[in-house]
Amino acid sequence: MTQKSTDLRPKIALFEPDIPQNTAAIIRTCACLGAKLEIIEPCGFLMSDKRFKRVAMDYFDKENIKFHKSFNEFLKSKENQRIVLMTTKASVAYTKFIFEKNDTILFGRESAGVPESVHKLIKNRLMIPMKNNKRSLNVATSVAIVLAESLKQTKFL
């Protein structure tokens, strides 16, 4: 059995997202750039939230989003696949990393990132360099930046 070409594209995973507008914006980015989105529950909002619907508009397509009930379920689904964690605690810039076609790029919660236990499990940890010791970018902006680089490197863009 062969994989569909869309299965080989980079994937974006969100760890327990808690801001509906950011998740909706990421849904639009993934839809427009052809990336699969995976959401690790629980979410800090309902998909029926009016703020979510306003930003997601007609880009919310459950066919292109995979929901995982827990981080453990997500990990099991990634057996023999590479997970890349984006974190402000990393020392390697995303531009110095060689992305592969089937990578899953994991982003933490807007309010807290990912727990230390997740940090310890993920070998590939990257950051977006920022000036003047700023704390972090908006997660939707970060997804767009890193996804574009991944797509460029893997010749999907």
Give the domains, in start order, of the chain with CATH numbers: 5-153 (3.40.1280.10)
Q: Are strands 104-107 and 36-40 parallel, antiparallel or unpaired?
A: unpaired
* % residues pLDDT > 70 (the chain): 87
CA dihedral 44, 28, 53, 50 (to 10 degrees): 50
Model pLDDT, residue 4: 47
pLDDT tens profile 116-134: 999 999 999 999 999 887 8
Among 35-39, 82-86, 100-104, 135-139, the least confident range: 135-139
CA distance 111 to 131: 21
CA distance 40 to 13: 7
pLDDT tens profile 2-11: 444 446 788 9
> What count of other Cβ atoms lies within 10 Å of the Cβ of residue 6?
11
